[in-house]
Structure 1
């Protein structure tokens, strides 16, 4: 289902075994989207990478920003991979294996769009902290104020 959705939007994508990877152009950056199927748990894990690699010097501030951002989310969360410094958004969906283990188009759309929306919404927070010299609290306040002001 995810491949059909990616193709319908004209997004470059590729499947390898239980993983589908797509590239999507957002307002702020290009996102890599990854869907990984874990059959033994009937879970589809969905990852969105907003092309932010955190330097060692900014990790403490970014961890604080991630905590503040995650308080704003109802589903999914941002995290930082400690080994590589890569920032990502992660969400998962339980898929009923008794129903053939397929994800409906509506569920696929919700999973993909919510990941992109949250990355777009909070990308400025991480930018402000990484390169703008703002504290995590100030970065969040600035990003949310700018978002609310858009028409």
Structure 2
């Protein structure tokens, strides 16, 4: 968790705030006008985080790509898996781009007002929830794609509640 004192302001234009957030974490990122892309190393893979600011709509679209491509013959199983996974999410959802077979996590934030801004706490929620959900469900998708498990078996195998500490 970053301290708001590390930033000049408590809120900023959406892409500016995300750029500050990524820089504070030391994550590589590239920015173009109303879009920013960062690379983040997770436990399972490297994630591409992409945010697109749509000023006309007042919407910040946030996408996380967990580096999973789904072959045509495995898409039905992945669609079923996404249905079961998305039931468990409190924010955002997973989807599959039909043209490319790319699996992604998506969330949108509505930022209204005359000068829409993004707070540090909201930026942290967008970024960290995307990473957390990708990390949490990455094994589920891998079990379905590579482990030969059904979607229900994959979720049961991956989402085990642990007790105590090692």
- TM-score under structure 1 normalisation? 0.96
1:7 is aligned, of 23, 33, 51, to: 23
Q: Could you tell me which residue of structure 1 aligns to residue 134 of structure 2?
A: 119
Q: How many residues align?
A: 148
CA RMSD of superposed structures (Å): 0.9
| Structure whose residues are more often helix by fraction | 1
Cα offset, 1:96, TM superposition: 2.1
5+ unaligned residues in a row in structure 2: which ranges?
1-16
Q: Could you tell me which residue of structure 2 aligns to residue 78 of structure 1?
A: 94
Q: Could you tell me which residue of structure 2 aligns to residue 68 of structure 1?
A: 84
Q: Could you tell me which residue of structure 2 aligns to residue 107 of structure 1?
A: 122
Write out the 4+ residue segments of structure 1 that deviate beyond 6 Å after TM superposition: none
Larger radius of gyration: 2
Cα offset, 1:16, TM superposition: 1.0
- TM-score under structure 2 normalisation? 0.87
Q: Could you tell me which residue of structure 2 aligns to residue 149 of structure 1?
A: 162
Q: Give the whole-Å Cα distance in 2 for the aligned partners of 1:85 and 1:149.
A: 33
Q: Could you tell me which residue of structure 2 aligns to residue 133 of structure 1?
A: 148
Q: Deviations over 1:13-48 (max 9, x none)?
A: 010121000000000000000000011110000000
1:30 is aligned, of 24, 38, 46, to: 46
Q: Give the whole-Å Cα distance in 1 for the aligned partners of 2:18 and 2:68.
A: 24
Question: Alignment partner of 1:149: what SS?
Answer: coil
Q: Give the whole-Å Cα distance in 1 for the aligned partners of 2:44 and 2:68.
A: 11
1:25-64 correspondence runs (5 A): 25-64=41-80
Cα offset, 1:149, TM superposition: 2.2
